[in-house]
Amino acid sequence: MRRAASVSDYRALAKARLPHFLFEYLDGGSYDEVTLERNVEDLRALALRQRVLRDVSDVQISTQLFGRTFAMPVGLGPVGLSGLYARRGEVQARKAAAAANVPFTLSTLSGCPIGEIARDGGAGFWFQLYIVKDRAFVSDMIARAKEAGCSALLLTVDLAVPGTRYRDYRAGLSTPPGEKGGSKRVSQLVGRPGWLWDVALHGRPLTLGNLEPLLGANAALGDLMGWVGRNFDASVTWDDVDWVRRQWDGPLVIKGILDPDDARAAVSAGMDGIVVSNHGGRQLDGTMSTARALPRIAEAVGGRMPVLADGGVRSGLDVVRMLALGANFVLLGRAWAYALAGGGQRGVAHVLELIEAEIRVAMALTGSTRIADIGPDTLEQP
C-alpha cells in the first residue's frame, strides 16, 4: 500500500481502491456540491493566530463529554455504507476508535448490524438514528441500541426528504440492478479486483445490516436509494423527538442543526447536545458551511449543552478551528471513511494519530495548553 501522510492521501487511495459508484457515494454531495465545497474551503480559510514565548511544554487534549473522558475532542461520525469500504468496515473502524479512546458512531445505513459492532467492538459506541415512517422499526432500533450498550443516540433530523446527488445517478448507484445503473456497477466491480477479494468475497454478507427487518436477510446495496425515498418521513416534528426521548434514557443528541432558532428549540426540548451539520453537503445545496453557521449557534446555546460539529474537517488544524468557533467536540466523517477504504483499521488508526499530532502542534503554536484555552482569540480576527 502506498504510504499516506494526510487525509488527502487516503482519499487518493480510496479512489483507487473502491468501485467507482462507492467512491462517488462517499465523496460526493447534493446537486452542484456548493455546500460540500464551502465546508472545506470556509474552514481552511480561517487563519490561526500564532503566538510565541509561552510555555507550551505540557499540552493536554483530553476531553469530557456525556460522562466519559476521551483522548481528544474528536469522534468518528456516522458514515453510511462504511461497512462496504473495507471488509466488515464498521467493525474495523470501531476497533480503531476504541484503541484511540475516541467515540465511534454507527449509522442506521451501515453494512454491519448493530449487534455485530457490539459483539466485535465492545459496548460504549454511539448510534445514529433516523425517524422513518415505520415507527415500529424506529422503536426496534432504539431497543437494539440499548441492548448493544450504546452510550449516546444521535438523532439525525436534516433528512425530511433526501437531497438529489447527481454523482450517484451518473455512477449508477441510484438505479436498480438489471437496468443501466446495475450494468454500470458490474463493470466497475470488475475493475477493482482487490476490493472484490477483500470485501465482496471475504466480507460477506454484503447487506444493509440494520435494515434487514424491513428489507429481509438479502438486503443489498441496490435497495438503498429506493428504501430511502420510500421511507424517510417528512412529517417529523419535535413531538416525534419527544417520542424518542421517552424510549431512550441516555444522552440524546440532535444532529443536523444549522440555524440558531433550531438550536434554541433543542435546548428548550431538553436535548443533551446538538451537532452543527449540513449532512456533509449532501442535503440542501447552497446552505452556509458549518464553519460559518457554528459561531451564531454556539452563542445561541450559551453553554447550556454541548455543541458538536462536523463538515469539512480534514486535519487536526481544522479541529482546532472548529473549537475556536465554538464547538466542544468535533466529528470526522469523510476523513475516517477515506482512511478505512484506503487502509482498513490501520488506516483509521493512522488518521486518528495524525489528527492528534496536528491538534497538539496547532495548540502549541497558538499558545494553548488546554482545550479550554481555545476560543475566538485562537483565530485571527477580520
Q: What gap in Å lies between CA 339 and CA 72, rounded to an integer?
A: 19
Q: Quick check: is 375 in a domain?
A: no
HSE value, Cβ hemisphere, 13 Å, CA-based, for 316? 22
In a domain, 317, yes or no: yes
How does DSSP classify residue 166?
Answer: H
CB 219 within 8 A of CB 212: yes
| Separation of alpha carbons 338 and 26, rounded Å | 8
- The answer to whether 139 is annotated as binding is no
- Tell me if 321 is assigned to a ligand binding site: no
Nearest to 86 by CA among 347, 350, 340: 340
**Using alpha carbons only, how large is the chain's radius of gyration in Å?**
20
- Residue 171 forms part of a structural domain: yes
Report yes or no on 362 lying in a domain.
yes
213 known ligand binder = no
- 78 known member of a binding site: yes
Which is the catalytic residue, given 20, 202, 279, 350?
A: 279
255 is in an annotated binding site: yes
Asked if the structure places residue 381 within a domain, the reply is: no
Q: CATH number of the domain at 208, please.
A: 3.20.20.70
DSSP 6-42: SHHHHHHHHHHHS-HHHHHHHH--STT-HHHHHHHHH
- Whole-structure pTM over 0.85, yes or no? yes
In a domain, 260, yes or no: yes
Q: Would 2 be classed as within a structural domain?
A: no
Copy the grid coordinates of residue 254: 440532535
Q: What is the per-residue DSSP string for 149-217?
A: T-SEEEEE-S-SSPPP-HHHHHHTTTS-TTSHHHHHHHHHHHT-HHHIIIIIITS---S-GGGHHHH-T
Please list the pLDDT of the chain residue by residue as tens digits (382 residues).
468 999 999 999 999 999 999 999 999 999 999 999 999 999 999 999 999 999 999 999 999 999 999 999 999 999 999 999 999 999 999 999 999 999 999 999 998 999 999 987 666 899 999 999 999 999 999 999 999 999 999 999 999 888 888 898 888 776 544 455 556 778 888 889 899 999 989 988 887 888 877 776 665 555 566 677 778 889 999 999 999 999 999 999 999 999 999 999 999 999 999 999 999 999 999 999 999 999 999 999 999 999 999 999 999 999 999 999 999 999 999 999 999 999 999 999 999 999 999 999 999 999 999 999 999 999 998 7
Alpha carbon distance 258, 290 (integer Å):
7
Q: How many domains does the chain have?
A: 1
Q: Does 378 reside within a domain?
A: no
Q: Give the range of the structural domain holding residue 363, as residue numbers without chain letter.
A: 7-370
Beta bridge partners of 308: 275, 329
Active site residue 279: yes
